[in-house]
Amino acid sequence: MLWPRFNGTGAAAGMAAGTILAARLTLSGLGKVWGWHAGVLGLALNVIVGISVSWAGRGAGSRQGSLKNQPFQKAE
């Protein structure tokens, strides 16, 4: 995901949440819910949690004056 504010904490939280959801659904015999595979639902939760946690925390985009994590801007 290319978003300067996305951080490792958000990625880890998203992976954990998505993995737990997909595993619990699969192990409980609900491989598909409303026609959606458990892995797809886990991926959706992964993205939602990852963005939410990164948005709530201090991501790389919160540093002002830094061009390190902004690849589409030219340094002056």
DSSP track, the chain? ---TT--HHHHHHHHHHHHHHHHHHHHTT-SEETTEEHHHHHHHHHHHHHHHHHHHS--GGGSTT--TT-TTS---
Q: Is residue 66 part of a domain?
A: no
Q: Residue 38 is part of which domain span?
A: 8-56
Tally of structural domains, the chain:
1
What does the pLDDT look like over 11-27, one tens digit per residue? 888 889 998 988 998 88
Q: Which residue has the higher pLDDT, 51 or 3?
A: 51
Q: Is residue 65 part of a domain?
A: no
Percent of the chain with pLDDT over 70: 74
